[in-house]
Structure 1
Amino acid sequence: MTICTRFLNQSRLWKWSVLTVAVVGFPWGVGTSQAGFIGGEGTDNPSRQLKALFAEYWDDELRAGPLEATFLGDHRYDDRLADLSDAAHEARVKRDRDHRHALEKIAPETLSADERIDREVLRFTLDDRIEGERFRDRLIPITQQDGIHLQFAQSVNFHPSATVGDLENYVRRLHAFPRVVDQTIALMRQGMAEKRMPPRITMAKVVPQLRDLAPKNPEESPLWGIVAKLKDWSEADRDHATVAVRQAIADKVSPAYAKLAAFVETDYLPACRESVGLWDSPEGDVHYAFRARSFTTTTLSPEQIHEVGLTEMARIREAMEAIRKKVGFTGDLKAFFQKLKDDPKLKNQSEAEILGRYRAIFEAIDAKLPDLFGHLPRTDYGIRPIEAYRAKAAAAGYYYPAPEDGSRPGYFYVNTSDPTSRTTYTMQALAYHEGVPGHHLQFSLAMEVPGRPAFRKFGYVPAFSEGWGLYSEGLPREVGLYTDPYAEFGQLEYSAWRAGRLVVDTGLHQKRWSRDQAIAYLEENTAVPRIEIVSEVDRYIAWPGQALAYKIGELKIREIRAQAERRLGTKFDIRAFHDRLLSLGSVPLSVLERFMEQNQQTEAEPQR
């Protein structure tokens, strides 16, 4: 349950990633006038220097990540894929250091309040990336959750198809894929040499993904999907494009996927480690402590985070007990969990039923949004099922933000695989987190702020964004939308799940828990179906630290709100509070806390 950053290279892009830049031009002024700013050609005005630096940084990011640029809606690089070579990586690291040095030269006291926030967020991002270089995360370039194999397959959903030039770019990108696969294999071989390897149990899930993406019949490839977008083309142009796409998939794409699958299965998988925790890797404990700080944007140690998780779990279980008694169930909480897992009345029966239920949930919350927010986004959103080739290893749902140009809405992608295993009573909480009022409002409102630098419009700091998503799961209760006690229990279950993540993630990567221990803990403390628990635990194994962001972020947002309510008393306005919170965009928790405290103090001052 998170936004679409699964399709981005998390080791490099998670701090700013997402998802849409204007298709034509850059309103923030990227161009030759900014080129060479780091080299000293910028203006003496600090504000203009900062804007030029932001523009140069962002342009560098998009040029280095062509797939990400396409996902974001910038189509200047639609004909290429990233260069994963050592030389390209070293150049990227040098740019990070140069940008950090240039940023330090701009004194914050010479900037406006908004500019100081922007400067601090970029500094945090660069410091985090520079510090993380020592751990060589790039040597594990693919997992069952993320990597070029999944990113590339998903690119068909975002690539334009309006012109012959669009399709020519698409075919060039298909032809470039074998080169990227060769570079990916080279990185993995270097990881083998340095003993920086992923756990075997999660890497094994990559092999069937790769096999599914290497069909002999091009029309069975997800990348064939571009052809369906050509229905309005002339017959001659459509036929020509179809032939080119078919040949590229058959000659380039499928063989490259098959080559990667064979390498993973034959060479890489046997060399992967049996252990599941990051502790069993070079500088493992130090690496995990860094990732905990990085993803939570706090100084909390893994041990402290583990204790927070245990405390939260105890609190949530008390609320669960109250619901159990409310519905008249006479057994204990563990027995109630089992009832929820087994009751066919609480299960979906088909993909159509799942999608229909979500539409009804969104219709109800849309009507209540004006009670919770004074300012709503212009951007629309829709619902889509997760593609079959990645559904088995995917979470229950993701959110994909809309592009700034408005060419498509944001998408709530929901996992409809094995529909009879998908519970009905958790659907409200998931919809509120991934869609409305969760990620859709947070990302859309951040994107729509006029004059905000692009890297901030599309920024994604997990502790804030996922903390807001988790906070949003319970928010509709305040406007009367949790009328079913089982749905209310579902929201508590999801909250317990996130508390459990604090316990399980630190357990796996710092306390040396086994995979079975992690699964057993979540089964003991939630009613989440085993199929989802196993998938989620494997996600935590493959992605150390990320799962810590949700509950830590939510607790900070609730703490900030409680402080505001105490300070303002009867003057507290929930709509104004939410508007202020979301106006900031995705930021580290320290920045959020300071910004909200300053605004609350101003609001609480007596009028003169």
Structure 2
Amino acid sequence: MLEAAAAFDAVVAEFYEGWFRYHPDRALELGFPVSGRLLPPQEDDDRAALRGWIEALILGLDEIAFTALDADRQLDYELLVGAARIEHQESLTRDWRWLDPLHFLPVAEIDRLTLDPMRALDGALPQLLEQVPEHLRQAQAQLRETAAALSAPLVRVAAAEAASGCCYLRHLARSTWLRDHARAPHRLQNLAESAADALTGFGHLLTTELANRARGEPGCGSTHLQLRLRYLHCIDCDPEILGDSIAGMLRATEGELSRLTDDLNQDAVSGSEAPTAPPARLQQYRERADELAAQLTASGLVTLPDAPLRIDLRPTCAGPRRAHTDYLPAADGTGTLYLSAGDLGTESDARIRDRCLVKGWGGSHLLAYADAARARRLPRRLANAVSLTGGWHLYLTDRLGRTGVHAGDQHHWTLIARRDCLRRAELDLGLHTGRIDSAQALARLRSHGIPETTAEAAFACIVLAPGDALAAVLGWRLLEAARTQQEARDGTGFAERAFHDRLVSQGPIPLALALRYGLGQPLWQSAADMVFGA
């Protein structure tokens, strides 16, 4: 066992050291030191080298005796194999350079670095800003060659994000925060202005040239959707059979929401409040987070980690709309929920509580620190955990409603959130299996009362992460089924807190693995049979 463990650890260390050179954006996101290029390479030679690197990883993993590994390494092994197989497949069939103009935008990486000023402002951030103009010049050449394959709504969303990112960088360049924290603020200001100019040029190309030439349909196809479910989410099912089930859950949720709306005073659930000054709103977030922590503890649903949760403002207030960090765990054992000025508007109290739950004590913070040693293992930090995070949120809010913690307007908000998740899953399934096209997907989003620009942004999220919205809903159903099976087996001895603690203690990983490694293969198989049929 020791020999197999050492061989696996060596493969992991060697692979990620190389892999981060091709994905420096992910290294920055995770706080790893990066030198040289800080933005993803676009050249064909680099892409071919990455494919070869992944093929070597798969061969290396095949030589390791899986059964000789301990449980934690077996889980990491499965994560690594799944991620490698899907990335290799997508490098052959779904090259982001040709399909995704949003992927070229570097704003998320810049935003992440501003949250770590001691490390970044005089090191990685100026280096990254300096690389942006050339990166975007290469991007424009790539996109011109394949304009017809692009999706027109994605081009429009990318243009809007480029404009938003330009405003963000200009604000950053002129902010007192930058002058107060950087040793060489004038150099950073000049670099930020140059990067903003490059974003303006990129957006101009998208708007004036590419938008009119874009004719592509962005669905990935049923076969590839099934591969993503299998390798990224560890859910092996045929997506073609899921349509009726998703539609039935949506009808049931809409019916429950309609009945609750009739029973409640509409003023209490409208979500409108008088504007509140940012300091008071920030304090309101902190109070709601503390209140939720106390309620979760009292409910007996889950054991909260002994890790402080901070809620703070971002260093700049004109951040990009989509590409920013919400929650960030730190090496010192704390986590921070970051808010921008846009978050401190006129949200309802129910919306504030929900955000504090999802990104705080009941969601991101819980999964990061329920067992910090496991959660910080590298394959888990890079895993796609939406089946657990999305499914857990839907499941937990339902449990809170049953315990009486969420009632009235909060339960109303919970049902709205569930309905929206189901709608996204339905669109995810329809678009990527070819049942609907882009125009029909956007028409459905608009029919839900979503404004045009917001509808296109929601559409982009579904396009760029095939299967994620679907996996969140499937995760919820699998969680419900696993609980039903465990209660039936344990009878009066069923311990709800222990059930949940075992589930979340593996870190943010695919739900299927959390169930298998936290609660056992028989329980996972029984839950899967209930949801997908034996």
Match of 1:20 in 2: none
Match of 1:228 in 2: 177
Residue 347 of structure 1: how far off its partner (Å): 4.2
* Aligned mates of 2:310, 2:146 — CA distance in 1: 40
Residue 89 of structure 1: how far off its partner (Å): 1.6
Which of 472, 491, 503 is the aligned partner of 1:550?
A: 472
Secondary structure, aligned partner of 2:326: strand
Match of 2:28 in 1: 70
Match of 2:218 in 1: 278
Residue 156 of structure 1: how far off its partner (Å): 3.8
* Aligned mates of 1:398, 1:479 — CA distance in 2: 32
Alignment of 1:579 onto 2:529: no
Match of 2:514 in 1: 592
Alignment of 1:148 onto 2:102: no
Residue 312 of structure 1: how far off its partner (Å): 0.8
Equivalent residue letter for 1:49 = A
Match of 1:28 in 2: none
* Aligned mates of 2:351, 2:169 — CA distance in 1: 36
Match of 1:390 in 2: 320
Match of 2:305 in 1: 376
Alignment of 1:196 onto 2:149: yes
Residue 380 of structure 1: how far off its partner (Å): 2.4
Relative distance call for 1:119 and 1:572 in structure 2 (3 A) is: same
Is the deviation greater in 70-79 or in 543-552?
70-79
Secondary structure, aligned partner of 2:374: coil
Relative distance call for 1:70 and 1:387 in structure 2 (3 A) is: same
* Aligned mates of 1:294, 1:47 — CA distance in 2: 23
* Aligned mates of 1:291, 1:599 — CA distance in 2: 21
Match of 1:308 in 2: 245
Alpha-carbon contact 2:104-2:136 (below 8 Å) kept: no
Instruction: Using structure 1 for the length normalisation, give the TM-score.
Output: 0.74
Which of 70, 86, 95 is the aligned partner of 1:137?
A: 95
* Aligned mates of 2:309, 2:434 — CA distance in 1: 44
Count of matched residue pairs? 519
Match of 2:528 in 1: none
Secondary structure, aligned partner of 1:248: helix
* Aligned mates of 1:179, 1:522 — CA distance in 2: 36
Percent identity reads 19
Relative distance call for 1:350 and 1:200 in structure 2 (3 A) is: farther
Relative distance call for 1:174 and 1:543 in structure 2 (3 A) is: same
Secondary structure, aligned partner of 2:275: coil
* Aligned mates of 1:497, 1:203 — CA distance in 2: 24
**Aligned runs of 1:409-488 on 2, under 5 Å?**
409-413=335-339, 416=342, 419=345, 422-445=347-370, 447-449=372-374, 453-483=377-407, 485-488=408-411
Deviations 1:208-239 (A, max 9, x none): 43234446xx98243566x7256377xxxx4x
More helix by share: 2
Alignment of 1:186 onto 2:141: yes
Which of 249, 256, 281 is the aligned partner of 2:192?
A: 249
In structure 2, stretches of 5+ residues that fail to align are 524-534
Residue 95 of structure 1: how far off its partner (Å): 1.0
Alpha-carbon contact 2:42-2:97 (below 8 Å) kept: no
* Aligned mates of 1:388, 1:137 — CA distance in 2: 31
Secondary structure, aligned partner of 2:429: helix
Equivalent residue letter for 1:428 = R
Secondary structure, aligned partner of 1:404: coil
Which of 13, 30, 45 is the aligned partner of 2:3?
A: 45
Alpha-carbon contact 1:210-1:260 (below 8 Å) kept: yes
Which of 294, 316, 328 is the aligned partner of 1:401?
A: 328
Residue 102 of structure 1: how far off its partner (Å): 0.3
Equivalent residue letter for 1:243 = H
Which of 501, 505, 513 is the aligned partner of 2:428?
A: 505
Match of 1:333 in 2: none
Alpha-carbon contact 1:354-1:416 (below 8 Å) kept: no
Relative distance call for 1:435 and 1:147 in structure 2 (3 A) is: farther
Residue 244 of structure 1: how far off its partner (Å): 1.7
Which of 201, 206, 221 is the aligned partner of 1:264?
A: 206
Residue 375 of structure 1: how far off its partner (Å): 5.1
Equivalent residue letter for 1:262 = H
**Aligned runs of 1:483-494 on 2, under 5 Å?**
483=407, 485-494=408-417
Higher relative contact order (CA 8 A, sep 6+): 1
User: CA RMSD of the aligned region, Å?
Assistant: 3.6
Residue 191 of structure 1: how far off its partner (Å): 3.1
**Aligned runs of 1:48-197 on 2, under 5 Å?**
48-77=6-35, 80-140=38-98, 142-143=100-101, 147-161=104-118, 167-192=122-147, 195-197=148-150
Alpha-carbon contact 1:351-1:416 (below 8 Å) kept: no
